[in-house]
Chain A
């Protein structure tokens, strides 16, 4: 019987000619990624279970990316980065992206030049930028948004510390083969619509538990016309529907991106659906008929068309994170912020130092993105997860009061961005930028002539 992309990747990683939905299989990991929040616990599990002198199964397959709590004076956060540093030294791990400006005393002073630091920023964007994502591979990460890398046609999923400790020692993990749900987008996106609108429409359609234990595949002209960063936004948020992984079949854009970044030169094999692959669910969206959408507080599935909530009063706007802090997101925001001023506090946080550097060089209408944002009155932060998940109280952009915020991030659960009573609306960077200018929820169509 035919297999889906996800089934084929898992079969290969399990050393089998085929697998069926529901099979429990032991698969080999190609990459294990961890960060400063879950790394210390994972390392603790590893040494406790395998012994103080244990070696990781393959130091070249371990990637460690501190990103969550970097720009804070919190002593424990700094201590956790030190735990990562010691581990990479002990284990000879080369793929480590150190915040080299962090020395454990107070709020760190960031780099002057984001292109001249070993620090990268948000792991899910750092992984592809640094060449750790390849079609057909299996990627495990101690972070639920590890599913982002499905955009490269690989199997990528989030795991816990215990599981990651197990992978560190063995290179293996048990998995249940998920059924695949398929979402097909027909037509090409109008200029006011972004991948974020598509995925919020999907999550609104199936609910925040609608894909529990399942794979979500995105296909169709609407998806293939998206650039790689936008495809990453789609896969990033499958976890918001409970999905195990998201996946997009690789095409020329994928291969070009991966080859240009694949520094190790590691060979890879793109994987595609068999013609008779079976899907447990299929839904076709016509993107020409979709509207910009938001997710209202307090759940990513609380969908509303922007036109329904237009005019809702706001205190703050935020553009950043692994889902909304990529160069494509900032280019989109710049189209609206160029030559305009924001009416509410607006925070801009690039996901990685590479993107932060590009804000200084990438231009729109003769101005760099950085100039556009600063002259609009927005505040720019350094590459990190920042207020996407609240974090310590001195975190840039954190909601320390019960404010109403529109955000290009991926979660709006109670307390997610800091204050338990804060209200967070999720939207595309275009909608967030339009709303920042209007001071209330606004429709990007009114700003793009």
Chain B
């Protein structure tokens, strides 16, 4: 786990469900095949209605229309991020698109578990509603262990909630690595 994540923010609202994160017609892609894993990244957030992607203005595509790549590696969202279907394709698509961390008010539990157990990205929680304080494109820096978010564009600093009991799983790199470290699984 990187101690500090730096990069550009992409802002979303409340209840971003996994159908919006990766619509069902892309679920034929099998993430166990590396090329298909990468393809999932190209469709990350494809189901978010245009007006609600890239707040506060909206209508900001997550991927560069020319290159198909995303330049945003930090998502800021509101309440209940990742609700709905249990598809692990959701955190995989975000990881494949280059997202390293999300800061939301809180998460739906299956998405949260998938993100942590798969070691795809770091789901941080914030006591404040940061999706109304940070703008898409702002340059951010998250200090994971200190649970601190710095917005270099505005100079704001926000205290996040510490990772708590999931920190060792994320430190290890996911459920399997954690189970090996703790002797649950033979290496």
On A, residues with C-beta under 8 Å from B are 24, 26, 37-38, 40-41, 43-45, 48-49, 68-69, 74, 76-77, 79-80, 83, 142-144, 146, 158-163, 166, 169-170, 172, 208-209, 212-213, 239, 242, 244, 299, 389-393, 411, 413-416, 420-421
- Chain B residue with minimal CB distance to A389? B24
With known contacts A77-B28, A80-B30, A391-B25, A242–B83 Cβ distance under 8 A: yes
Please, how many angstroms separate the alpha-carbon atoms of A80 and B24 in the complex?
14
- Chain B residue with minimal CB distance to A392? B25
Q: Is the CB of B19 within 8 A of A37?
A: no
With known contacts A160-B88, A208-B80, A390–B25 Cβ distance under 8 A: yes
Does B114 make an interface contact (CB < 8 A)? yes
Known contacts A76-B28, A242-B83; can you find 9 more A-B pairs with CB under 8 A? A24-B165, A44-B31, A79-B28, A143-B86, A160-B86, A162-B114, A166-B117, A209-B79, A411-B85
Does B69 make an interface contact (CB < 8 A)? no
Does B27 make an interface contact (CB < 8 A)? yes
Does B17 make an interface contact (CB < 8 A)? yes
Within the complex, what minimum Cβ distance (angstroms) separates A143 from chain B? 6
Q: Is the CB of A161 within 8 A of B106?
A: no
Q: Is the CB of B32 within 8 A of A48?
A: yes
Type the 1/0 row for B25-41, where 1 means its CB is closer than 8 Å to any CB of A: 10111111100000000
List the 9 shortest-distance A-B pairs measured between CB atoms, nearest first.
A44-B32, A160-B114, A76-B28, A160-B88, A158-B86, A144-B86, A209-B80, A161-B88, A162-B118
Residues of the A chain whose Cβ atoms lie less than 8 Å from the Cβ of B20 = 413-415
Within the complex, what minimum Cβ distance (angstroms) separates A108 from chain B? 15
- Chain B residue with minimal CB distance to A414? B49
Interface residue stretch chosen among B138-146, B147-155, B173-181: B173-181
- Chain A residue with minimal CB distance to B23? A415
- Chain B residue with minimal CB distance to A40? B30
Pick the contact of B89 from A41, A146, A212, A242 — CB < 8 Å?
Answer: A41
Residues of the B chain whose Cβ atoms lie less than 8 Å from the Cβ of A144 = 84-86, 110
Residues of the B chain whose Cβ atoms lie less than 8 Å from the Cβ of A391 = 24-25
Within the complex, what minimum Cβ distance (angstroms) separates B76 from chain A? 18
Q: Is the CB of B24 within 8 A of A414?
A: no
Residues of the A chain whose Cβ atoms lie less than 8 Å from the Cβ of B84 = 144, 239, 411, 413
Residues of the B chain whose Cβ atoms lie less than 8 Å from the Cβ of A172 = 184
Does B161 make an interface contact (CB < 8 A)? no
Residues of the B chain whose Cβ atoms lie less than 8 Å from the Cβ of A158 = 86, 110
Residues of the A chain whose Cβ atoms lie less than 8 Å from the Cβ of B174 = 162
B20, B84, B86, B118 — most chain A CB neighbours (10 Å): B86
Does B2 make an interface contact (CB < 8 A)? no
Residues of the A chain whose Cβ atoms lie less than 8 Å from the Cβ of B108 = 209, 212, 242
With known contacts A41-B32, A48-B32, A209–B106 Cβ distance under 8 A: yes
On B, residues with C-beta under 8 Å from A are 15, 17, 19-20, 23-25, 27-33, 47-49, 79-80, 83-89, 106, 108-110, 113-114, 117-118, 165, 174-176, 179, 184-185
Pick the contact of A162 from B17, B83, B176 — CB < 8 Å?
Answer: B176
Pick the contact of B106 from A45, A212, A411 — CB < 8 Å?
Answer: A212
Q: Is the CB of B113 within 8 A of A163?
A: yes
Residues of the A chain whose Cβ atoms lie less than 8 Å from the Cβ of B48 = 414
Please, how many angstroms separate the alpha-carbon atoms of A411 and B19 in the complex?
10
Residues of the B chain whose Cβ atoms lie less than 8 Å from the Cβ of A77 = 28
- Chain B residue with minimal CB distance to A77? B28
Please, how many angstroms separate the alpha-carbon atoms of A279 and B24 in the complex?
36
Please, how many angstroms separate the alpha-carbon atoms of A76 and B114 in the complex?
23
Within the complex, what minimum Cβ distance (angstroms) separates A376 from chain B? 29
Q: Is the CB of A414 within 8 A of B19?
A: yes
Q: Is the CB of A242 within 8 A of B114?
A: no
Within the complex, what minimum Cβ distance (angstroms) separates A78 from chain B? 9
Please, how many angstroms separate the alpha-carbon atoms of A358 and B106 in the complex?
44
Q: Is the CB of A420 within 8 A of B28?
A: no
Q: What are 19 A-B contacts defined by CB distance under 8 Å?
A: A37-B28, A44-B32, A49-B176, A142-B88, A158-B86, A162-B174, A162-B175, A163-B117, A166-B117, A166-B176, A169-B185, A209-B79, A390-B19, A390-B23, A391-B24, A411-B17, A413-B17, A414-B49, A420-B47
Q: Is the CB of B110 within 8 A of A415?
A: no
Please, how many angstroms separate the alpha-carbon atoms of A159 and B118 in the complex?
12
Please, how many angstroms separate the alpha-carbon atoms of A158 and B114 in the complex?
11
With known contacts A209-B106, A411-B84, A163–B30 Cβ distance under 8 A: no
Q: Is the CB of A160 within 8 A of B79?
A: no
Pick the contact of A80 from B28, B47, B110, B114 — CB < 8 Å?
Answer: B28
Pick the contact of A416 from B19, B31, B175 — CB < 8 Å?
Answer: B19
B32, B49, B174 — most chain A CB neighbours (10 Å): B32
Residues of the B chain whose Cβ atoms lie less than 8 Å from the Cβ of A392 = 25, 28
Please, how many angstroms separate the alpha-carbon atoms of A239 and B82 in the complex?
12
With known contacts A159-B110, A415-B47, A40–B32 Cβ distance under 8 A: yes
Residues of the B chain whose Cβ atoms lie less than 8 Å from the Cβ of A411 = 17, 19, 84-85
Please, how many angstroms separate the alpha-carbon atoms of A388 and B144 in the complex?
39
Please, how many angstroms separate the alpha-carbon atoms of A144 and B117 in the complex?
16
Within the complex, what minimum Cβ distance (angstroms) separates A48 from chain B? 7
Please, how many angstroms separate the alpha-carbon atoms of A239 and B28 in the complex?
23
Within the complex, what minimum Cβ distance (angstroms) separates B171 from chain A? 16
With known contacts A299-B15, A415-B47, A159–B30 Cβ distance under 8 A: no
Residues of the A chain whose Cβ atoms lie less than 8 Å from the Cβ of B80 = 208-209, 212, 242
Q: Is the CB of A160 within 8 A of B23?
A: no
